[in-house]
Amino acid sequence: MTLYVARHGETEFNRQRRFTGSIDAPLSETGLQQADELAQRLKSDGVHLDAIVSSSMRRALATAGVVADAYGLPVETADEFVERNMGVYEGLTFEECETRCPDMFERGASREWDDAPDGGETLRQLDERVLRGLERVLADHSGQDVLIVCHGGVVMMINKRLNNLDLEGMFNCKRDNCGVNAFQIA
């Protein structure tokens, strides 16, 4: 089984370097183009897909839909792969977070395992949720080649799980818009 994990295409929030989190932002024009390029790249690289699973958020669904059209496959949705709720940071740039929430920003609330911006989800909670979705996909699609289209935080957690990464290594994994990570699952 090969598991491909792709982040959705660009949104305006991504372009502006804002925390998007649980805000259901649509793809930008660039994001739509990136989704098309992702589908073309997968096809031209000879990637075989048996299934496509997507976060239920529209930026991921739109990206997955473009790939699904190219492959003639349906898109399955999985709420376990929605982006991390970033609480009071949502919609803010890094600079705005530092100015408006200096104590949280200074303690690294968004980057600590058991901490989160006020009203948000901890990394531990995200990890547990993503693990449930990953286990379900691996069980439901055993022996199949699957593409999961999700979000940067979810990509980090899947990489953490499948590559046994620590917290620092998790944050250093590749998670560009429409970037793809491939994992061979025995």
**pLDDT at 186 > cutoff 90:** no
Spatial distance between the Cα atoms of 129 and 79, rounded to a whole number of angstroms: 9
Question: How confident is the model over 108-125, as a mean pLDDT?
Answer: 97
Query: What percent of the chain has pLDDT above 90?
Result: 96
Chain centroid offset of residue 27 CA: 14
**pLDDT score of 173:** 86
121 catalytic residue (yes or no): no
Q: Given the residues 8, 90, 121, 151, select the one marked as catalytic.
A: 8
Spatial distance between the Cα atoms of 151 and 153, rounded to a whole number of angstroms: 6
Spatial distance between the Cα atoms of 131 and 100, rounded to a whole number of angstroms: 33
**pLDDT score of 174:** 83
Q: Given the residues 83, 90, 121, 151, select the one marked as catalytic.
A: 83
Kindly indicate the confidence band of residue 182, based on its pLDDT and cuts at 50, 70 and 90: very high
Spatial distance between the Cα atoms of 18 and 170, rounded to a whole number of angstroms: 20
Q: pLDDT tens for residues 20-76?
A: 999 999 999 999 999 999 999 999 999 999 999 999 999 999 999 999 999 999 999
- Average pLDDT score, the chain: 97
141 catalytic residue (yes or no): no
Please report the domains of the chain, with CATH numbers, ordered by start residue.
Answer: 2-87+121-184 (3.40.50.1240)
Question: How confident is the model over 90-106, as a mean pLDDT?
Answer: 96
Question: How confident is the model over 6-17, as a mean pLDDT?
Answer: 97
At position 44, the amino acid (one-letter code) is S
Q: Where are the alpha helices (DSSP H) in 83-122?
A: 94-100, 102-106
Tokens of 179: 């970037």
25 touches 59 (CB < 8 A): yes
**Residue written as tokens 């929430």?**
101
Which helix or strand (DSSP H or E) is residue 75 part of?
strand 75-77
Worst-scoring range by mean pLDDT, 5-9, 40-44, 168-172? 168-172
Kindly indicate the confidence band of residue 107, based on its pLDDT and cuts at 50, 70 and 90: very high
Spatial distance between the Cα atoms of 38 and 45, rounded to a whole number of angstroms: 10
**pLDDT score of 124:** 97
**pLDDT at 109 > cutoff 90:** yes
